[in-house]
Amino acid sequence: MKHTAFTKIHEELGAKMVPFAGYLMPVEYTGINDEHVTVREKVGVFDVSHMGEFWVTGPKALDFIQKITSNDVAALTNGKVQYSCFPNGKGGIVDDLLVYRFNPEKYLLVVNAANIDKDWNWCVKNAEEMGLSIGKDLINASDDFAQLAVQGPLALKAMQKLTSANVADMEYYTFQQIEFAGISDVIFSTTGYTGAGGCEIYIKNSDGPKLWKAVFEAGAEFGIKPIGLGARDTLRLEMGFCLYGNDINDETSPIEAGLGWITKFVDHKSFIDKDLMLKQKEEGTDRRLKGFIMIDRGIPRQHYEVVDAAGNIIGEVTSGTMSPMMKIGIGMAYLNKGFWKDGSEIFIRIRNKDLKAEVVKLPIYKA
| pLDDT given for residue 367 in this prediction | 79
Residue 272 domain-assigned (yes or no): no
262: three-class secondary structure by DSSP: helix
**Rounded distance, CA 286 to CA 283, Å?**
10
At 115, give phi and psi (nearest 5°): -115, 10
Handedness of CA 249, 195, 35, 112 (dihedral sign): positive
* Digitized pLDDT (tens) for each residue of the chain, 367 residues in all: 999 999 999 999 999 999 999 999 999 999 999 999 999 999 999 999 999 999 999 999 999 999 999 999 999 999 999 999 999 999 999 999 999 999 999 999 999 999 999 999 999 999 999 999 999 999 999 999 999 999 999 999 999 999 999 999 999 999 999 999 999 999 999 999 999 999 999 999 999 999 999 999 999 999 999 999 999 999 999 999 999 999 999 999 999 999 999 999 999 999 999 999 999 999 999 999 999 999 999 999 999 999 999 999 999 999 999 999 999 999 999 999 999 999 999 999 999 999 999 999 999 999 7
Residue 250 domain-assigned (yes or no): no
3-state helix, strand, coil in the chain (%, to 5): 25, 35, 40
Are residues 162 and 233 located together in one domain of the fold? yes
Instruction: Yes or no: say if 150 and 199 are a contact pair by the CB < 8 Å rule.
Output: yes
Residue 367 domain-assigned (yes or no): yes
Residues 6+ away with beta carbon under 8 Å from 121: none
Are residues 291 and 232 located together in one domain of the fold? no
The closest alpha carbon to 214, from 187, 179, 169, belongs to: 179
| pLDDT given for residue 167 in this prediction | 98
Q: Strands 329-336 and 345-350, how do they pair?
A: unpaired
The closest alpha carbon to 76, from 116, 106, 117, 35, belongs to: 106
| pLDDT given for residue 181 in this prediction | 98
Residue 308 domain-assigned (yes or no): yes
Are residues 198 and 326 located together in one domain of the fold? no
Are residues 38 and 157 located together in one domain of the fold? yes
**Rounded distance, CA 164 to CA 160, Å?**
8
Check whether the bond before 19 is cis (ω within 30° of 0): no
Among 238, 262, 297, where does a domain finish?
238
Residue 350 sits in a domain whose CATH number is: 2.40.30.110
Residue 261 domain-assigned (yes or no): no
Among 169, 203, 238, where does a domain finish?
238
| pLDDT given for residue 344 in this prediction | 98
Boundaries of domain holding 351? 286-367
What total number of domains does the chain contain?
A: 2
Could you count the other beta carbons within 10 Å of the beta carbon of residue 56? 24
Are residues 45 and 160 located together in one domain of the fold? yes
Are residues 300 and 226 located together in one domain of the fold? no
Could you count the other beta carbons within 10 Å of the beta carbon of residue 316? 15
